[in-house]
């Protein structure tokens, strides 16, 4: 199932992060994609707060993986630098572990990921507006459904 919505402001992005965080479960995997500056890290920052992470989350670009702890462990990855390699087997123990993985540029390591993930694609409309497509099958489908229920009239 997939659902497309328009985020008109940063506050809408914060609310989307909160809604998804309400549905969090051990081993959850969220894949984010969209151009630089489209909001992947910003989404992750607010998501992290809603799952109880107290440390300030920032961009992991130069480290690939940063680990935070809150109500769950959070593995924040930015795999942009794996574009030409497509895998990093050291990430597997995290992705398939019981913490929550949020992966920026997830499509670059698609071969390492299970088929079922929640994917969010961000497109910049203007300075504060973003279009978002949320997609998920199997155990992620009900999350997409909850989002569509919240935003449809």
Ligand X SMILES: Nc1ncnc2c1ncn2[C@@H]1O[C@H](COP(=O)(O)OP(=O)(O)O)[C@@H](O)[C@H]1O
Q: Which residues contact 152 (CB under 8 A, 6 or more apart)?
A: none
Q: CA-CA distance, 109 to 86, in Å (whole number)?
A: 5
Query: Contact positions toward ligand X, by CB under 6 A?
Result: 7, 9-10, 12-13, 34, 36-42, 59, 104, 128, 130
130 binds, among Mg ion, ligand X, none (CB under 5 to 8 A by kind): ligand X
Q: Give the shortest CB-115-to-Mg ion separation in angstroms.
A: 24
Any alpha helices (H) in 36-130, and if so which ranges? Answer: 40-50, 92-95
Q: Of the listed pieces 26-34, 53-61, 67-75, 145-153, which binds Mg ion according to CB under 5 A?
A: 53-61
Q: Give the shortest CB-134-to-ligand X separation in angstroms.
A: 14
Considering the complex, state which of residue 42 and residue 95 has its C-beta at the smaller distance from ligand X. Answer: 42
13 binds, among Mg ion, ligand X, none (CB under 5 to 8 A by kind): ligand X
For residue 149, how many other CB atoms are within 10 A of its CB? Answer: 11
Write out the two tokens for 107.
Answer: 């499509």
CA 55 to chain centre: 18
Q: Give the shortest CB-33-to-ligand X separation in angstroms.
A: 9
Asked if residue 48 binds Mg ion (CB under 5 A), the reply is no
């Amino acid at each position: 199932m997939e659902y497309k919505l328009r985020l008109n402001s940063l506050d809408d992005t914060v609310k989307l992060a909160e809604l998804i965080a309400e549905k969090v479960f051990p081993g959850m995997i969220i894949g984010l994609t969209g151009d630089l500056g489209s909001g992947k890290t910003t989404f992750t920052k607010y998501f992290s707060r809603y799952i109880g992470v107290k440390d300030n989350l920032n961009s992991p670009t130069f480290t690939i993986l940063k680990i935070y702890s809150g109500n769950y462990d959070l593995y924040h990855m930015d795999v942009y630098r794996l574009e030409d390699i497509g895998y990093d087997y050291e990430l597997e123990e995290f992705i398939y572990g019981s913490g929550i993985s949020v992966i920026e540029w997830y499509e670059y390591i698609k071969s390492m990921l299970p088929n079922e993930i929640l994917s969010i694609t961000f497109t910049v409309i203007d300075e504060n507006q973003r279009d978002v497509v949320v997609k998920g099958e199997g155990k992620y489908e009900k999350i997409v459904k909850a989002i569509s229920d919240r935003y449809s009239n």
